[in-house]
A and B are shown apart, each in its own frame.
Chain A
Amino acid sequence: MAESEKELEARIDEVVAATSGVREQYSARSTLRRAARRFTDAPSVLSLVEDDRGRRRVTVCIGVTAELDSSAVALDVAAAVRELLAEGEEPLDVRVRVSRLIPSAV
């Protein structure tokens, strides 16, 4: 049976969290979708997998320690997501959004 989007999102969350330099991970869903999920029992996955006319699109939001090059960390995240989904046949777009540059003192 094909893996559901939610299961896939949960697996993506794991590889993103395990990527060196990722300090925090946040919901990639829009404000409206986050609000809607508060009223459901949906599992709290953070990554977002969408299908755009046969093209799979993955969005992840991360927080990186401000002293690191967040673009390098983001590229590592994108590579980890691609590796995870390598077995799929669908074309894949990965969008990594750096939502916080976190001061190291906090």
Chain B
Amino acid sequence: MDDTDDIGGSGYSLEELSAYLDRERTPRIAAIESNAQCQALLSSMERMGALSREVVDEASRAPLPESWYDDVMREVLREFRAGRDIPILAATKGTEVVVTEGAVYELIRAVGDSVPGALVGKVRVSPHDRDDVLDIRISLSLRFGQSISEVAEEVRTKVRRAVSQHGDLRAGVIDVTVDDLHLGEEAAHG
């Protein structure tokens, strides 16, 4: 059994989740709807679909190879596994509040994708010197014609702000690497 056969212990494969999304989540399947990893993956599939439509898909201009999407989905599968629990508040007597590593990955990926001209390829998170301070590495594809430094800085700023929104959680070092280029509608038609 590989990573795509049983998402988050739901009993449903990646292919079945994709089919579930295609039929607009009906009939409703409780094992999927109550599973955080399935929900994160479905949400990511929807967002990837929206982003894909923004990218020109003329084969001759090939702004992004099909394999790029496969690679990203593989990354999403890996990242969205719950992973370790990160404390986001100092423990008080009898109450413990944690966020999963998978939730942090989903947040960073969504924030990165929201920056115009950026498509996140890979995210890596590791503890800095405390559990609630995270060093973050992001690789992304840049829309042709965009400024590398401006997009990278905007991704860094937005990710730092988004992470520090949640209790004691903080971003340490944020490295942004541009390792791919794609054409957007403006570049393709301009």
Contacts and interface: CB of A to CB of B under 8 A. Distances in A.
B178 interface: no
A75 B107 contact: no
A43 B39 CA distance: 20
Contacts, number: 119
Contacts of B162: 66
Nearest to B47: A106
Interface stretch (B67-75, B87-95, B118-126): B87-95
Contact of A103 (B47, B89, B95): B47
Interface residues of B, number: 39
Contacts of A84: none
Interface residues of A, number: 39
Interface stretch (B29-37, B54-62, B134-142): B29-37
B111 to A, nearest CB: 8
Contacts of A63: 36, 39, 103
Nearest to B31: A38
- Tell me which of A27, A32, A68 has the highest count of chain B C-beta atoms within 10 A of its own C-beta: A27
Interface in A48-99: 61, 63, 66-72, 74-75, 78, 91-99
- Tell me which of B30, B36, B39 has the highest count of chain A C-beta atoms within 10 A of its own C-beta: B36
A102 B107 CA distance: 7
A70 B8 contact: no
Interface string B97-123: 111101110110011001000000000
A44 B88 contact: no
A74 B97 contact: yes
B34 A78 contact: no
Nearest to B37: A99
B167 interface: yes
Interface of A: 24-27, 30-32, 34-35, 38, 44, 46, 61, 63, 66-72, 74-75, 78, 91-103, 105-106
21 contacts: A26-B39, A31-B9, A66-B107, A66-B165, A72-B167, A74-B97, A94-B94, A95-B96, A96-B98, A97-B98, A98-B88, A98-B98, A98-B99, A98-B103, A99-B103, A100-B36, A100-B39, A100-B103, A100-B106, A103-B47, A103-B110
